[in-house]
């Protein structure tokens, strides 16, 4: 690990100033990806800015028809929250399936979404539940946020402060879990809203995505049978040592049917 200057600011104004003054700074949320990257010498930031002491980045509350989760809220708190479970049980269930207990008690929702790992669970929730990503500069729609492998719409110096989730009529998350890491080989979030159904897939492509044909079929008929005969294009999916693109395409469809069958 290379030497760096460590900062523990207490407000976002201080964070913005440090970001502007430093040569190559990195924000530290839970550190579940960043710290291993530093240890492997795959990153060598000049400064590390720990967000843990910024109190208004923590916590969960309800705001009219939305639930608002602070960016520094850990996965375990989302999974255990009575408010989240009453508002959207599928979101709490998803958080409870992330990694292992150590990861869930340290990793944060904002850090996971900003990192945009193709096998992370939260991107499926953000897209499937039509969330809004709040930053220190603006609000970003879920459909505009994930752009490519580990890439998002965040600009340099832009910091996720919270995520807003509207209440779905029904929602369900199904995941084919990697047995060692807990990452999603494939994960599918299905959510039914007034007049439309959203379906988001993580783990299968360079970033989380919504398959239009599957959503259109479910909007017409919210049944598992409505997905019969449909398929994803393997040419647009990932192949690796854990699963081929064709296998991921098949599993995604199976998980989508299973999710719909549980709540239809």
Residue 195 has pLDDT above 90, yes or no: no
Contacting residues for 256 by C-beta, under 8 A, at least 6 apart: 174, 188, 190, 199, 201, 214, 227
pLDDT band at 2 (very low <50, low <70, confident <90, very high): confident
- Cα distance between residue 177 and residue 221, in whole Å: 28
CATH number 3.20.20.80 given to 5-50: no
- Cα distance between residue 161 and residue 147, in whole Å: 19
Q: Express each pLDDT in 102-135 by its tens digit.
A: 999 999 999 999 999 999 999 999 999 999 999 9
pLDDT band at 264 (very low <50, low <70, confident <90, very high): confident
Burial class (CB in 10 A: 0-12, 13-18, 19+), 217: buried
Residue with tokens 């049917």: 257
> Which token pair is 180?
């060692």
Mean pLDDT across 169-198: 96
Residue with tokens 């007049």: 195
The pLDDT > 70 percentage for the chain reads 100
Mean pLDDT across 240-248: 96
Show me where the domains of the chain are located. 5-50, 55-263
Q: What CATH architecture does domain 55-263 belong to?
A: 2-Layer Sandwich (3.30)
The predicted model scores a pTM of 0.96
Mean pLDDT for all residues in the chain:
96
pLDDT, position 165: 98
Q: Express each pLDDT in 39-52 by its tens digit.
A: 999 999 999 999 99
């Amino acid at each position: 690990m290379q030497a760096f200057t460590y900062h523990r600011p207490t407000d976002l104004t201080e964070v913005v100033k440090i970001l502007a003054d430093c040569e190559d700074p990195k924000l530290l949320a839970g550190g579940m990806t960043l710290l291993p990257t530093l240890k492997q010498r795959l990153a060598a930031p000049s400064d590390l800015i720990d967000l843990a002491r910024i109190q208004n980045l923590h916590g969960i509350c309800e705001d009219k028809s939305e639930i608002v989760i602070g960016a520094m809220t850990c996965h375990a708190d989302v999974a255990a929250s009575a408010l989240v479970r009453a508002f959207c049980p599928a979101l709490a269930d998803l958080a409870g399936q992330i990694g292992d207990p150590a990861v869930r008690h340290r990793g944060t929702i904002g850090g996971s979404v900003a990192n945009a790992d193709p096998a992370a669970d939260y991107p499926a929730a953000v897209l499937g539940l039509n969330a809004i990503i709040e930053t220190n500069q603006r609000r970003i729609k879920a459909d505009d946020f994930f752009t490519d492998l580990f890439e998002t719409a965040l600009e340099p110096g832009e910091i996720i402060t919270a995520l807003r989730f509207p209440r779905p009529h029904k929602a369900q998350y199904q995941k084919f879990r990697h047995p060692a890491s807990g990452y999603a080989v494939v994960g599918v979030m299905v959510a039914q809203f007034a007049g439309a159904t959203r379906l988001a897939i993580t783990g299968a492509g360079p970033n989380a995505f919504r398959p239009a044909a599957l959503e259109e079929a479910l909007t017409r008929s919210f049944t598992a049978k409505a997905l019969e005969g449909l398929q994803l294009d393997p040419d647009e999916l990932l192949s690796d040592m854990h699963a081929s693109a064709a296998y991921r395409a098949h599993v995604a469809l199976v998980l989508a049917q299973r999710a719909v069958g549980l709540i239809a």
